[in-house]
């Protein structure tokens, strides 16, 4: 099942570069990567864009508020 990201928003600021670097790392076999950011900086949205772009099987774990 393809991952479909539905959002009214587009990546902004540093997000496009972070997405590119994370995707490049996944595509070249980098064994581990870390995305650092302060609360509210869009880490979840950034990773959702990475998942949508690489189109690989992904397990998504999220807390329930």
Query: What is this structure's pTM?
Result: 0.89
Nearest residue to 43 via CA among 14, 7, 5, 4: 14
Tokens of 14: 């540093």
61: pLDDT strictly greater than 90: no
Chain segment 2-36, per-residue pLDDT in tens: 889 999 999 999 999 999 999 999 999 999 999 99
Chain segment 27-45, per-residue pLDDT in tens: 999 999 999 999 999 999 9
């Amino acid at each position: 099942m393809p991952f479909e990201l539905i959002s009214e928003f587009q990546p902004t600021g540093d997000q496009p570069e972070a997405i590119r670097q994370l995707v490049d790392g996944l595509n070249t076999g980098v064994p581990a990567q870390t995305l650092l950011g302060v609360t509210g900086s869009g880490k979840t949205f950034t990773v959702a864009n990475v998942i949508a772009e690489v189109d690989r099987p992904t397990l998504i774990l999220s807390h329930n508020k």
